[in-house]
Every structure is written in C-alpha cells, then in structure tokens.
Structure 1
Amino acid sequence: MTEIDILRHDQVLAVVRANRIPDTSELCRALVAGGIRTVELTFTTPDVVQHISGAVAAATQVGAILGVGTVMTDDQARAAIDAGARFLVTPGIRPGVAKVATDRAVPVFLGAFTPTEVAMAVDLGATAVKIFPARTLGPGHLSDLHGPYPDVELVPSGGINEHNAHAYLEAGALAVCAGTSVVPPASVEAGAWSDITDRAKAFVAELRSRQSS
C-alpha cells in the first residue's frame, strides 16, 4: 500500500508538536499500537530532521509512515526527504516545497483554506490538500469545497478530536489530523508512551463506533 492508501484506510494522521521528543521510534510504536500508522513530526520541533533520520528504519519496521510538517522552504523539504521522510506537509501554499516533493516523487499535502488556494495546491501537484484551520468553519466548509472540487483529497487539521472527527469524514475528508487530543506535548516530552497509545485507541474506537452506528 502507498502512503495515501494507508491514510485512506486508517483515516487518521497524528500531528506531533512538542519541544522535545525523547524517543521518536517509541513514539511511532505507541501510535501504531493505538491504531494510527501515519505520523507527522513538524519543523517546530528542534532537530526534527535528526529525529526522522534516527527513527525512520524503526518506524517502517513497526508499520509507521513517518513524515514532516510545517515545511516552509525548499531546503527544509530536501533535508526532510534526505532524512527519510515519506511525506511532507505545509501550513499554506509553498511552491518551492511542492516542486522539491514532486521532483522527488514524495507525497506532499499543501495547506489551503479558500477555493482559490485549493486550486493552487492542485496545480502545484499536491497529493492531498490540508484544510487549515479546519475549526474556523467546521465540517460544512469541506462539503462546500467538494462542490467545485469533488475529486480533490482533503485533510482537515486544527481543532479535531474524537468527538467531531466523524463529522469531517462524513463531509468528505480523506482523513483527519489528530493533534493534542492524541499526542499532547506534555505526554510526548515525558515519554508517556502508554498514555499516547491509550489516547490513540480511544480516538480510533470512537471514530469506528460512530461509523458503524
């Protein structure tokens, strides 16, 4: 399965924002144990490239797809890909990042909010479009965007938890981004891996229960 196939199947991407990650391999293992295989570290974490390069082999071994978000420049994009990142995510339209990713055949999720920005992301070769901040207009915004763009894969990010994630999927999201509800910075920085596994399990279980009801 490709990265996008796995994300489509699992419907959840964990976004990790922390000042310190004591063991990225264990973080990935904890999330996979909880049912979330796609893991996005971000350039807001110091030394994120080293975290990727030190954990990518172990992450792959446990079935995690490890990528990098908040990618702002083409230099960051190249460094992340060279370190082994399997996908890139941007907070907004970043043509340089998109070019590096598409040239290297690495999936890139460009950030957008408006219909014009979605069109720009598609033109730049985005594998999927991250809708951020999703909480501003809620799931209805995704439904509206899918009117003119029915075939564009949308991934909402910002303000999503186990209680509202299903509404975004029903609105047509490829997957949802799970942030602090699953990977609170304090738990990551403390290496509280069992807590993160429990949070991931709860998120996934709530999502599946709503889908089957």
Structure 2
Amino acid sequence: MTMNLNQLLAADRTLAVVRAESISDAAQLASALGRGGIRTLELTFTTPNVLEHIRRVVETSQDHGVMVGVGTVLTAAQAESALDAGAQFLVTPGLRPEVAKVARERGVPFSLGALTPTEVAQAVDLGSEIVKIFPARHVGPGYLKDLLGPFPELKLLPSGGINEQNAAEFLKAGALAVCCGTSVVPPALVAEGGWDEITERAKKFTASLS
C-alpha cells in the first residue's frame, strides 16, 4: 500500500532536510536514507540544480520508495517548477499564501512555516494540514505543547536544531514528526557520496526517536 505524506511522517517520525551546495547523486541519497528508515526527503531551493535532483529521485522511486519534496519554496513560480519536476510535497520557511494556492490547485500536500499562534492559525486557514514550526531550537519542545492547547488537532513539524539529544522530547510534546538536517545529512557527505555513513546516521537518529 502506498502511503501519503501524513502516514509516512506518522510512521517514521522524521523527515530529512538536505541543504547542500552539491548532491553527487540524489537517487543514491534517497536510497541511503530509505535504508536508514527515513522515507521522506526534502531537497531545497538553496541547492543548485535542485529541480534536476528532484527528477532523479522521482525517476528512481521504484528502487528506494522514498517520497521527495522541496523546501524553501518562496514563490508561486518556484512551486510550479518544483511540481512540474515531480516534487510530491512543498515546504516553506514562513507563510507563503501564493505557494499554498499553487499546492491546493495542484492537489499536492504542503507544510507552511510558522512560529507564533497567529501565524499557525493563518497557516491552517491557508490549508496547511501540517504546520512547520521554525526555528524550533529557539522555542523548545514545551512551546509545541503550549500550541496544542488551543490547536489540539494540529499536526506540527518542528524544524531547525533538531538532533539525537532533543528529537524525542519534541515528539513527546506532541509533534507529528521532526525534521532532521545536518546531523543525518551533513553537506560534505552528501557532496562526496558517503551513502553508507548517511544510512548509519539515519539509523542512529531514528533509533533515538523512541
């Protein structure tokens, strides 16, 4: 059975966010993460040639089973180009109504970035079923618990500063899943193709979530 984004995040409890100047082979990167138990991959518009990398992951999806999306989406044009390249979900660092509009029209899941209760409410109004709390390191797990008071059904995805030491605390506070970044996918390893080490880092990170 093919799982959607919500189901994958609920099952794996994490999403890998890659910020790198270079990706030697995006398909191998996806495979490495999949072997480590992480089946959602967010590439970002801060990486050169990101659309080519998205296409590469999508074209080889039968080999690794990883869902690929794109983050740091700031404009409608970026959203359209990412979806045309095959991106399966969109993520923004803040409230981007024009990105939300494209995603809704194309029927693709998206997660808008927010921090304050007002921004969270606006993200929900724009159709963001999963709200990314960014930067999470500056507010801590307790902040998520507080947000779930007035928004008990909210699906929260904290991002920024999440590591093996604090990830489980964010989940205990009520997060649907957490974003993992350089602790699992360091830019140098992504650039040089250190796939086995990335797999081991992914396994170690996912083991820390329980």
Give the structure-2-normalised TM-score.
0.97
Specify the code of the residue in structure 2 equivalent to 1:158: G
User: Which residue of the partner structure matches residue 154 of structure 1?
Assistant: 156
Partner Cα separation in structure 2 for residue 80 and residue 127 of structure 1: 20
Partner Cα separation in structure 2 for residue 58 and residue 11 of structure 1: 23
Choose the corresponding residue for 1:182, options 181, 184, 189. Answer: 184
User: Which residue of the partner structure matches residue 35 of structure 2?
Assistant: 33
User: Which residue of the partner structure matches residue 107 of structure 1?
Assistant: 109
User: Which residue of the partner structure matches residue 52 of structure 2?
Assistant: 50
Please report how far the alpha carbon of residue 74 of structure 1 lies from its aligned counterpart in structure 2 after TM superposition.
0.3
Please report how far the alpha carbon of residue 54 of structure 1 lies from its aligned counterpart in structure 2 after TM superposition.
2.2
Partner Cα separation in structure 1 for residue 133 and residue 36 of structure 2: 25
User: Which residue of the partner structure matches residue 141 of structure 2?
Assistant: 139
Give ranges in structure 2 of 5+ residues lacking alignment. Answer: none
Contact preservation (8 Å) 2:17, 2:181: yes
1:193 aligns with 2:195: yes
Specify the code of the residue in structure 2 equivalent to 1:28: A
Specify the code of the residue in structure 1 equivalent to 2:94: G
1:11 aligns with 2:18: no
Specify the code of the residue in structure 2 equivalent to 1:104: R
Please report how far the alpha carbon of residue 59 of structure 1 lies from its aligned counterpart in structure 2 after TM superposition.
2.9
Specify the code of the residue in structure 2 equivalent to 1:4: N
Please report how far the alpha carbon of residue 60 of structure 1 lies from its aligned counterpart in structure 2 after TM superposition.
4.5
> Match of 1:207, SS?
coil
Specify the code of the residue in structure 2 equivalent to 1:118: V
Give ranges in structure 1 of 5+ residues lacking alignment. Answer: 209-213
Contact preservation (8 Å) 1:34, 1:199: yes
> Match of 2:137, SS?
helix
Partner Cα separation in structure 2 for residue 4 and residue 57 of structure 1: 22
Choose the corresponding residue for 2:72, options 46, 70, 75. Answer: 70
User: Which residue of the partner structure matches residue 203 of structure 1?
Assistant: 205
| Count of residue pairs brought into register by the alignment | 208
Partner Cα separation in structure 2 for residue 63 and residue 52 of structure 1: 14
Specify the code of the residue in structure 2 equivalent to 1:21: I
**Which has the higher mean CA deviation after the structures are superposed, 58-67 or 30-39?**
58-67
Partner Cα separation in structure 2 for residue 103 and residue 117 of structure 1: 22
Contact preservation (8 Å) 1:70, 1:89: yes
Specify the code of the residue in structure 2 equivalent to 1:67: G
Partner Cα separation in structure 2 for residue 86 and residue 35 of structure 1: 19
Contact preservation (8 Å) 1:29, 1:59: no
Specify the code of the residue in structure 2 equivalent to 1:85: A
**Which has the higher mean CA deviation after the structures are superposed, 132-141 or 47-56?**
47-56
> Match of 2:19, SS?
coil
Specify the code of the residue in structure 2 equivalent to 1:103: E
Give the structure-1-normalised TM-score.
0.96
Partner Cα separation in structure 1 for residue 157 and residue 62 of structure 2: 23
Specify the code of the residue in structure 1 equivalent to 2:96: R
Identity %: 61
Partner Cα separation in structure 2 for residue 113 and residue 206 of structure 1: 25
Specify the code of the residue in structure 2 equivalent to 1:24: A
User: Which residue of the partner structure matches residue 211 of structure 1?
Assistant: none
